[in-house]
């Protein structure tokens, strides 16, 4: 079987490379990630469901993969595009090569791509794409037609496809603060409840289908909505569940998709960014302390809320402040409610992978639950 693979963009542009991971066909929205490290966490982040991920860092796989850094039980990216994969992985933590991990989970990838040129194209706007190798190769017009028949990310509701089937509990590690958080899994990364447990919280992770009433019946001290794939505009059910929590003034914290859902629950709109933020090197201003933090991002949508001053939540939850802003493009990166105990960020304080600058947000959640804000 030939090792040739083709990456085909919806606008008809074609890149030729070599099979990386499994051979076959995959379709998805093609997006780029600017992280220099953390490929294992990226691959297993459920928010990448249905996306083909291009790594802008040229060398991928250098440290192989290990048994500790998965952010969920499987790889979620739809396909993987790299420039120069490591031939010999080297790390004392590695248990296998990245190529092996991709292949064993049937993830179709491509290597040898000029990812710099590709990223310049995607900065004009993300689009649908496909990777084809082995038996899936065909002539280019046929492959473009398959790509165009693929699903769009706008309008996609994907949280239920990645969420857990049954609730599970994570016990506090170290000192028990006696506080219980119900964390709704819309595509949660493993490190998020872990960061809470490390601070002494008891966390019950529940499926995305858990209703607002069911959440409240657990009498939580705080409610958390996780990151997750898909278009927040298609998540009306979760917005309704969240409003039930906000109505009862139960302390709330949201990350990424959870931030977009808080935005929607407050009555703001969301919109699709031209190419999104993905990587572990994104500058964000915390407008409460005026400190700049370097943060981990993975989002293609954002909340449309007034940047300056306080605004009245259109859905009637009192005053809201945009608490964090991305310094690259002024995109809303955090919301803080001033009259109800709720806040959220668009980025990833759990930092897996990524810098730990934003870990204080978990402490803010604890303060909110203790009524100390």
Q: Which residues are annotated as a binding site for L-glutamine?
A: 47, 228, 230, 257, 260, 298, 300-301
Tell me which of 253, 257, 362, 365 binds ligand GLN, using CB under 6 A: 257
- List, as own/partner pairs, every contact residues 359-368 make where C-beta atoms lie below 8 angstroms and the sequence separation is at least 24, other chains included: 359/195, 361/253, 362/195, 362/196, 362/199, 363/199, 364/253, 365/181, 365/196, 365/222, 365/224, 365/251, 365/253, 366/177, 366/179, 366/199, 366/201, 368/222, 368/251, 368/253, 368/341, 368/343
Which two structure tokens, joined as six digits, stand for 272?
Answer: 């699709």
The one-character DSSP state at 73 is S
User: Which of 256, 293, 299, 326 is an active site residue?
Assistant: 256
284 contacts 295 by C-beta, under 8 angstroms: yes
Beta bridge partners, 271, equal: 302
Binding site, by residue number, is 47, 228, 230, 257, 260, 298, 300-301
Tell me which of 24, 61, 64, 300 binds ligand GLN, using CB under 6 A: 300
* Phi, psi values for residue 214, rounded to 5°: -65, -40
Site string for ligand GLN, 131-170 (x = CB under 6 A): ----------------------------------------
Q: Which helix (H) or strand (E) holds 100?
A: helix 98-104
Q: For ligand GLN, which is the closer residue by CB, 128 or 299?
A: 299
- Shortest Å distance, C-beta 207 to ligand GLN: 17
Q: Which stretch binds ligand GLN (CB under 6 A): 22-30, 134-142, 203-211, 226-234?
A: 226-234
- Shortest Å distance, C-beta 179 to ligand GLN: 24
Q: Is residue 348 among the annotated active site residues?
A: yes
Which two structure tokens, joined as six digits, stand for 90?
Answer: 């080297």
Q: Which residue has the tokens 């009524």?
A: 371
- Shortest Å distance, C-beta 170 to ligand GLN: 20
21 contacts 109 by C-beta, under 8 angstroms: yes
Q: Of the candidates 280, 344, 299, which has an alpha carbon nearest to the alpha carbon of residue 47?
A: 299
- Shortest Å distance, C-beta 63 to ligand GLN: 24
Cβ atoms within 10 Å of 175's Cβ, excluding its own: 8
Tell me which of 112, 229, 251, 341 binds ligand GLN, using CB under 6 A: 229
Q: Does 256 bind ligand GLN (CB under 6 A)?
A: yes
Q: For ligand GLN, which is the closer residue by CB, 83 or 189?
A: 189
Integer Cα distance of 101 and 86 in angstroms: 13
User: Which of 29, 41, 333, 350 is an active site residue?
Assistant: 350
User: Which of 297, 299, 324, 348 is an active site residue?
Assistant: 348
- Shortest Å distance, C-beta 47 to ligand GLN: 3
Site string for ligand GLN, 176-205 (x = CB under 6 A): ------------------------------
Q: Does 47 bind ligand GLN (CB under 6 A)?
A: yes
On the 0-12 / 13-18 / 19+ scale of CB atoms within 10 A, 298 is buried
Tell me which of 56, 208, 298, 323 binds ligand GLN, using CB under 6 A: 298
Q: Does 301 bind ligand GLN (CB under 6 A)?
A: yes
Q: Does 299 bind ligand GLN (CB under 6 A)?
A: yes
Total residue length of the chain: 373
- Shortest Å distance, C-beta 324 to ligand GLN: 15
Supply the DSSP string of 254-268, one letter for each residue.
EETHHHHHHHHHHT-
Q: Catalytic residue numbers?
A: 256, 348, 350
Please report, as ranges, the residues that interact with ligand GLN according to CB under 6 A. 47, 227-230, 256-257, 298-301
């Amino acid at each position: 079987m030939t090792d040739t693979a083709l990456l085909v963009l919806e606008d008809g542009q074609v890149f030729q490379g070599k099979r990386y991971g499994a051979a076959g066909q995959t379709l998805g929205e093609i997006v780029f990630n600017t992280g220099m490290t953390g490929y294992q966490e990226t691959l297993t982040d459920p928010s990448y469901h249905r996306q083909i991920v291009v790594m802008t860092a040229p060398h991928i796989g250098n440290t192989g993969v290990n048994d500790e850094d998965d952010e969920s039980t499987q790889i979620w990216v739809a396909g993987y595009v790299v420039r120069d994969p490591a031939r010999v992985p080297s790390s004392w933590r590695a248990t296998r090569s990245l190529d092996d991990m991709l292949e064993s989970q049937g993830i179709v990838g491509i290597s040898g791509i000029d990812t710099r040129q590709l990223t310049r194209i995607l900065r004009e706007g993300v689009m649908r794409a496909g990777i084809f190798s082995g038996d899936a190769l065909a002539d280019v017009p046929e492959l473009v037609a398959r790509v165009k028949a693929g699903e769009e990310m706008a309008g996609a509701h994907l949280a239920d496809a990645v969420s857990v089937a049954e609730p599970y509990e994570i016990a506090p590690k170290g000192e028990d603060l006696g506080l219980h958080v119900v964390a709704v899994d819309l595509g949660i990364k493993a490190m998020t409840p872990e960061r809470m447990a490390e601070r002494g919280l008891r966390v019950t992770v529940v499926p995305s289908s858990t209703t607002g009433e069911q959440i409240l019946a657990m009498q939580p001290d705080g409610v958390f909505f996780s990151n997750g794939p898909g278009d927040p505009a298609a998540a009306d059910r979760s917005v309704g569940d969240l409003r039930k929590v906000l109505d009862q003034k139960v302390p709330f914290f949201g990350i990424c998709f959870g931030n977009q859902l808080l935005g929607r629950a407050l009555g703001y709109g969301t919109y699709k960014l031209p190419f999104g933020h993905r990587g572990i090197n994104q500058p964000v201003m915390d407008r409460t302390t005026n400190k700049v933090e370097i943060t981990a991002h993975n989002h293609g949508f954002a909340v449309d809320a007034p940047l300056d001053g306080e605004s009245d939540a259109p859905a009637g939850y009192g005053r809201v402040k945009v608490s964090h802003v991305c310094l690259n493009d002024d995109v809303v990166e955090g919301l803080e409610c001033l009259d109800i105990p709720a806040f959220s960020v668009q980025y990833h304080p759990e930092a897996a992978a990524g810098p730990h600058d934003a870990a204080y947000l978990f402490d803010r959640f604890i303060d909110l639950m203790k009524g100390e804000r």
